Structure 1
Amino acid sequence: MADLAKCESDATCIPYVCSEVTLTSSDVTEENDEMVDEKCPCIDIHDVDNAQTQTDHMPDSVYLCIEKLQYDNEGLHFYTGLENYDKFQCVFASLGPAVDHLCYSRTGTVDVISPQNQFLLMLVKLRQHHTYFELSRMFGTSQFTAENVFITWVNFCSRQWGELNLWPCRALIKYHMLSDFRRKYPSTRVVVDATECPIKRPSNPTSQRVTYSRYKNKNTVKVLVGGSPHGLISYLSPAYGGSASDRQIVERSALPSMCDPKDSIMADKGFNVQDLFAPYDVHINIPTFFRKKNRMSGRTVMKDRRISSKRAHIERFIGGMKTYKILTEKLNATEIKLASRITFICAMLFNFRNKLVTDKA
């Protein structure tokens, strides 16, 4: 946690910097035909043969591998969050040919697990947040190798996907914008909100102060998430200590300059940063502040309800990210250093899912 003690400007708002990764160019019991009752309508000998063929290439030394999940969509979704094997292959292919040329941070090479199963190990760790001991038993390797694979692949995936431009142009947003959104808030460029992920309490007093969140009453890391009106996470800030405010994160981000003039941003009431966006001619749509008034007009109440109903989309996006349990359970010291990259990967995996927001939303 030494990184948390370093601060150039404000000790309350420190992005976590991840360690770098260097990139360089079963025995299957045969079915006994005599055990099959040909008169039973529930058993088809051809189904048995097909099942035999599907499991021929499953390694017998591991409990979990992609070969075993290839025909098990429910199991694959449980362990990875991806709907089926085709989606798994699509996400894996997006990483490019560099997956076969990784230089691992601790041992140089890892040959005991195939690249696809290394990717699966990372997804299982993100999705279920198993310990490295559990992962070593599941994938038939050592705890050291399991940790080495996870750290390397987190750094690698964040680098590869980080080269993508997730910020869509205004014309693209307008083309895909939901009909109700287009009718009520046509200038909306992004819907933003902050979210926090719990961490284990650091031993360093400065790190404790930087990461302590008064809102959550515990130590956390905090990120700002932005979603486009048609259901894509298009912006994600680095991870900051939980004591950082929304305003501090926006001040250190490029979000105001990323918007075009006449754009609008939708946010919660606490996102009071209009002065930061005003020089860029960007409007902030937030619910009305009560300001010690005894009552609010009916028109104001209806306006706030409309904003809240649309702003709820970002809550769905964040909820989709947090189906990966690593973001809901306490991160250890190693994972804290990777917090920015872990949250980014979870956001990218969410973007690969099927459409979350319906056209009528």
Structure 2
Amino acid sequence: EGFLHRWSSARLMGRRSPSQRKRDDCESSGEDFDEDDEDDTENEPDTRKRKGGARRPGGGRRCPCGPTGCQRLVNETGFRLPANPERRLAWLQCWYPPDSVPEKYLEKKQFRVHECHFPADAIELKEFKKSGQVVRSVKKDRLPDVPFAQIRPAATDQPRPARGERQTREAADATRSELDRIREWVQHGVETEDLPQGSMEVLTAALAQGQQERDKHLRTKERLERTEKRLSQILSERDERERALRAEVRAPQAGVRGMNALSYARFCTDRWLKKSMSQWLFFDAVEQLNAYALLLDGYYPLADITFVPRQRAKKTVPPADGERAEMRRARVNYPQNRKPALALTPRDALVFWLFVTRSGMTLSRAGALFHISRGTAASCYVTMTEYQLQILRREFPRLSAQQIRDAIPDRFRKFAKQQGVKSDIGHILDGFEKQFECPRDDEVRAACWSSYKHLYTVKFLLGMLSSGAHYFTSRGNPGSVTDPDQVETSGFLDLLDEGIDTMVDKGFLVQESIQKRGCICWMPPKMRQNQKEATAEEADDTASIARIRIFVEHAVLRIKEWGWFSSRQSLSIQQADLHSDVVFIIAMLSNWRAPLIA
């Protein structure tokens, strides 16, 4: 499409071939066009000037040193012709007679001279004081005095060899025939010293060339050997890293490697881990971690949780009583009634869950640090997620309308008084979305596409009390679901009590649904169609609502700063059933931090 556009533009702009131009000129002047001259006109050079001067394909312009000069392409590293007309004429007279200097070099300033025409002592460095830029320039009293013969031999009538070719085919044939003649002379007993001078020069050049080819072959061989050696070293290092990583992931017990495994006891005793506990486990001190463990244990004993599924016992014939006694005396374990040993203690499993969720590390890498397999890590994470979910739902039950009114801060009451409305703002609604892995199914992929983020995302709805505490989290919804639909299907409207108002953002168009519950929906005013800017009253209302609604953004940030959602990697499809539960657990754990609203 671009080529056709350029081609049609060229046709419209009158870029015609020489034969077409000649045909048009003949038609305009009334002369007859000779068809025999068409082939000659096709071979005529295009005399049209290129835009911007003597620019050539490949970048840069030719050096203005004349046809017998270097004729090199000069880019911005060359030296521009002087702006002073007298000095510029002095430069150009180094290559052209005074009466034959091309006018284009005298009129335009964009031509540059190649640095090969100036010796090293004619170039100086200048530094600008304001910008600190250092540039190269030619001294004012110097001219391009480096003869071209020092750079390249003068042009002769001999045809110029092809670029990159060492010698022409005729010269190679002549050299080959001369070497054959020398070989015949040596076979007939002629000494090397008796050879003619021209034959001796050919022989010396051939020997030198052969030595150069031999040296080049040896260098290439050495380079290939070094490359093969380096490649084998890289492959061996990669194999060692893979073996080390495989051994690290498959290590089933602590103490197998030199480094001790991460555990609850190590976080309580290691000085560095205790100092950075909030970074890895959310809790700031060991006492808070112990208090949370005791809270969970009070609802349901941690010791009764099975983190690893029991293995199926082999079907064997049970031994007789006498044989069982002999096996007991011999301390032989009978596999039928033996329970598999747990890979983690209950508190180690709790620390593992907090570590993975807080750091955002994958289960495989975290399992390697805790010396457990990936399957054990996944089973432990799923079990602890369900365990904490059930307990935290009991710990944070639904509040009554009077309890919500008692927790409303004074700044919300002042806001309602300023608006002239008797209102108890108890809920603030907001949400966030996180990038999701691209699904394989076409319908699911279309449902997860977010037109706002231009990514495959999953959305979560968050409800916060006006006191700053997390109160409600929804299940994950596909990225294409709108905010009003998300509110309707999430179950948030069932938590509303009559007289307890809600504050939302501009995108949540749920005023009618909330008003049906007997509540007021506080939302910043929206711009009407074809309205370019808000009025002064609308701007004041937006600012007043935003000043007290900003706390919900901080509440959302407390969830998004966890590594499970803040890492660059997308949320996994295989763990889709866990993301909503993890959001609820993180939100409830954030309630034990310092309050957002004093």
Pick the aligned partner of 1:215 from 428, 438, 452. Answer: 452
In structure 1, the partner of 2:192 is none
Cα distance in structure 1, aligned partners of 2:497 and 2:541: 24
CA displacement at 1:165 relative to structure 2 = 4.1
- CA distance in 2 between counterparts of 1:136 and 1:81 reads 19
Task: Judge conservation of contact 1:79–1:123 (CA < 8 Å) in 2.
Answer: yes
C-alpha spacing 1:146/1:257, structure 2 compared with 1 (3 Å)? closer
Give the whole-Å Cα distance in 2 for the aligned partners of 1:342 and 1:308: 29
Instruction: Determine if contact 2:308/2:342 at 8 Å carries over to the other structure.
Output: no
1:150 is matched with 381
Do structure 1's residue 282 and structure 2's residue 519 form an aligned pair?
yes
Give the Cα–Cα distance (whole angstroms) in 1 for the partners of residues 549 and 399 of structure 2: 19
Instruction: Give the CA deviation at 1:315.
Output: 0.9
Measure how far apart 1:110 and its partner are: 6.4
* Residue 496 (structure 2) aligns with: 259
The alignment status of 1:236 with 2:473, answered yes or no, reads: yes
Specify the alignment match of 2:589 in structure 1: 349
Partner SS state of residue 320, structure 1: helix
1-structure distance, mates of 2:300, 2:574 = 28
Q: Residue in 1 aligned with 2:440?
A: 203
Considering only aligned residues, what root-mean-square deviation do their CA atoms show, in Å?
2.1
Residue 78 (1) aligns with residue 279 (2): yes
CA distance in 1, matches of 2:483, 2:514: 14
Shift in alpha-carbon separation, 1:354–1:117, aligned structure 2, 3 A: farther
- Partner AA of 1:283 in structure 2: I
1:118 partnered with 2:349? yes
Asked whether the 8 Å contact 2:307–2:342 carries over to 1, the reply is no
The worse-fitting range, judged by mean Cα deviation, of 171-180 and 330-339 is 171-180
Specify the alignment match of 1:306 in structure 2. 544
- Rounded to whole Å, the distance in 2 between the matches of 1:166 and 1:306 is 32
User: For the residues of structure 1 that align with 2:477 and 2:444, how far apart are their CA atoms?
Assistant: 11
Aligned equivalent of 2:261, options 63, 74, 77: 63
Contact 1:104/1:110, CA 8 A, preserved across alignment: no
User: 1:190 corresponds to which residue?
Assistant: 427
User: What letter corresponds to residue 75 of structure 1 in structure 2?
Assistant: S
Relative to structure 1, is the Cα distance of residues 114 and 199 closer, same or farther in structure 2, using a 3 angstrom cutoff?
same
Contact 2:308–2:376 (8 Å) recurs in 1? no
Deviation at 1:229, TM superposition (A): 1.1
CA drift of 1:262 comes to: 2.1
8 Å CA contact retained: 1:91, 1:352: no
Q: Distance in 2 between matches of 1:207 and 1:342?
A: 22
Is 326-335 or 191-200 further displaced after alignment? 326-335
Pick one of 84, 97, 112 that aligns with 2:300: 97
1:97/1:167 CA distance change after superposition, 3 Å? closer
Identity over aligned pairs, percent: 19
- CA pair 166-304 structure 1, distance change in 2 beyond 3 A: farther
Query: CA 1:338 to 1:208, structure 2 compared with 1: closer, same or farther past 3 Å?
Result: same
Q: Do the aligned partners of 1:82 and 1:353 also contact (CA within 8 Å) in 2? A: no
Q: Please name the residue that 2:127 is paired with.
A: none
Larger Rg: 2
Q: 1:228 to 1:128 in 2, by over 3 A?
A: same
Mapped to 2, the partners of 1:214 and 1:110 lie a distance apart of 50
Q: Distance in 1 between matches of 2:341 and 2:557?
A: 34
Task: Give 1:272 deviation, angstroms.
Answer: 0.8
Q: Is the alpha carbon distance of 1:104 and 1:141 closer, same or farther for their aligned partners in structure 2, counting shifts above 3 Å?
A: closer
> What SS does the corresponding residue of 1:146 show, helix, strand or coil?
helix
Task: Give yes or no for the alignment of 1:296 onto 2:534.
Answer: yes
Structure 2 gap ranges (5+): 1-253, 312-339, 417-422
Partner residue, 1:169 = 400
**Aligned-partner Cα distance in 2 for 1:333–1:293:** 42
Aligned partner of residue 194 in structure 1, secondary structure: strand
Does the alignment pair 1:137 with 2:338? no
**Which residue identity lines up with residue 175 of structure 1 in the other structure?**
D
1:285 shift after superposition: 0.5
Distance 1:298 1:250, change over 3 A: same
Q: Look up the equivalent residue of 2:382 and give its one-letter code.
A: I
Q: Distance in 1 between matches of 2:532 and 2:437?
A: 43
More helix by share: 2
Letter in 2 for 1:101: D
- Using the alignment, how far apart are the partners of 1:293 and 1:213 within structure 2? 27
Per-residue deviation, 1:222: 0.8
Contact 1:189 1:265 in 2 (8 A): yes
Quote the Cα distance in structure 1 between the aligned partners of 2:364 and 2:491: 40
TM-score, with structure 2 as normaliser? 0.48
Q: Which position in structure 2 is the counterpart of 1:48?
A: none
- DSSP-derived class of the 1:282 partner: coil
133 and 66 in structure 1: CA distance in 2 versus 1, 3 angstrom threshold = same
> Aligned equivalents of 2:460 and 2:555: distance in 1?
13
Q: Hey, what's the Cα distance between the residues in 1 that align with 2:597 and 2:467?
A: 9
- Name stretches of at least 5 consecutive residues in structure 1 with no aligned partner: 1-58
Q: 1:160 aligns with which of 391, 394, 409?
A: 391
**Which residue number in structure 2 is paired with residue 19 of structure 1?**
none
Spell out, residue by residue over 1:188-225, the C-alpha distance to the aligned partner (whole angstroms, 9 max, x if none): 11101121122211112222112111111111111110
**Deviation readout 1:85-138 (Å, 9 max, x if unpaired):** 222122222323332222447557761211111011111111112122211221
Q: Secondary structure at the match of 1:160?
A: helix
Does structure 2 retain, via aligned residues, the 8 Å contact 1:158–1:345? yes
Change (3 A) 1:110 1:352: farther
Moved over 6 A (4+): none
Q: Deviations over 1:262-321 (max 9, x none)?
A: 221111111111111121111111100110335434333222111112211111111001
Does 1 or 2 have the higher relative contact order (CA < 8 Å, sep 6+)? 1
Question: Does the 8 Å CA contact 1:168/1:234 hold for their aligned counterparts?
Answer: no
Aligned equivalents of 1:195 and 1:249: distance in 2? 12
CA 1:107–1:249 in structure 2 vs 1: closer, same or farther (change >3 Å)? farther
